[in-house]
Amino acid sequence: MDRKQMCVANVQYKKPSADGAKQAKNLLRYLTYRESRDEAARHAAGKDRWHDHGMGGSVAEIAARCDDLKSEHVLAFSLVCNPNPDLIAMVAPEDREAFVWELTEGVIEDFFDRRGLDTGVEWSAVLHHRLTDDPEAPGLHNPHTHIALPGTVYSEEHGGRVPLFFSRNRKVDHIEMLHRTTEDQMVALMDRYVGPEWEARYDQLVEVREAQMAITDEEPHGWTTNEDGIEWPVWCGVRRTSEATTSLGFYRLYPMPTDDDNEAVTIQFRPLVNGLTHEEAERLAQMLGIAMKGDLEQLRQMAEVLGQMTSAERSNLLEDLEPEQQSIELDL
């Protein structure tokens, strides 16, 4: 797999100004009391939610610590450590929280060791258990951490605190170093929590998805019109969600912005029924591709009926159909 896709590690900072302090407190409140933009925190807030490694365990404590340890140009840094949900899905559910905390601690310790900061850096972190909002695969478990770092770090060489910085130039690229550190930590943890075959399993998942997307090389099952009155082809198909489940839905073209302010188009999948077995999803997609009779709305309605069925009811439906049957009638 492309190791750069294993984990997202992004750094931002707040300025030591009145606006920066206000923004930092708002961010800390959000991180403490939310899992995502649309979901409140599932676990205890405040001191029971933050892991304190020198920056405090509550909004007030961390905000005060940021102010005490700020530099001339930086009030505080914030770092996000977000593992790939496809890889997290391979980790046993009961082990995922421990996995992400080990990842976070390993990244911070290894990264600053590589930078030669032997004295370490104060930090505090909070774990979020959000669900993905990726339109192709919504609702996947996406545990990740938000880390608060100070604007300065203690230097034995200088006998006091000096500004903490993240350079990105030809001589040294701390962001690239952070990414490499994150990749190394992810590999070690995936080997330990999942097994050395995890990468081959991921590559197989990608290969299956590419093969499933090949249906768009065939004649479309229907057409839909976008808000600009442009017709787009539609294919009823499936997308492997994980090693255990597949989603039934449709592929179509979607406009995508580009760096030069123009638009390109890309084929993307939109799920309509999630959590199906691989065989179940494939059979239903073959049938619905014909039964939709070129109408995307008809496909949506049939998928809604299927989604309301129990697994046993869908199994009975498939068993009742003759192998050579090429369409499906659902009570809409």
Give per-residue pLDDT as tens, 159-210.
Answer: 899 999 998 887 889 999 999 999 999 999 999 999 999 999 999 999 999 9
**Does residue 283 or residue 326 have the better pLDDT?**
283
- Residues 193 and 95 sit within 8 Å (Cβ to Cβ): yes
Q: Euclidean distance between the first and final Cα of the chain, in Å?
A: 43
The DSSP output letter for 173 is: B
φ and ψ of 181, to 5 deg: -60, -45
Q: Are 147 and 124 in contact (CB under 8 A)?
A: yes
User: Is a pLDDT exceeding 50 seen at residue 46?
Assistant: no
Lowest mean pLDDT among 74-83, 220-229, 265-274, 317-326: 317-326
When pLDDT is cut at 50, 70 and 90, the band that residue 146 belongs to is very high
Strand partners, 12: 78
pLDDT (mean) for 224-251: 92
Single pTM value for the model: 0.88
Least confident among 45-49, 132-136, 167-171, 188-192: 45-49
Domains of the chain: 3-196 (3.30.930.30), 211-320 (no CATH)
- Range ranked top by mean pLDDT from 2-16, 42-56, 135-149: 135-149
Of the listed ranges 1-10, 70-79, 82-91, 102-111, the least confidently predicted one is 1-10
- pLDDT exceeds 80 at position 145: yes
pLDDT of residue 70: 96
Q: What is the pLDDT confidence band of residue 24, given thresholds at 50, 70 and 90? A: very high
- Position 45 scores a pLDDT of 47
CB 131 within 8 A of CB 141: yes
Supply the pLDDT for residue 331.
Answer: 54
User: What confidence tens digit (pLDDT) does each residue in 62-89 have?
Assistant: 999 999 999 999 999 999 999 999 999 9
* CA gap 148, 192 in Å, rounded: 27
- Calculate the average pLDDT of the chain: 90
The CA distance from 146 to 11, in Å, is 10
Average pLDDT over residues 221-228: 86
Tell me the average pLDDT across 219-242.
91
Please provide residue 157's backbone torsions phi and psi, each rounded to the nearest 5 degrees: -60, -40
- Looking at residue 247, its pLDDT comes to 98
Lowest-pLDDT range, 121-135, 235-249, 315-329?
315-329
Say if strands 294-295 and 222-225 run parallel, antiparallel, or are unpaired.
parallel
Q: Residue 326: helix, strand or coil by DSSP? A: coil
Higher pLDDT, 324 or 266: 266
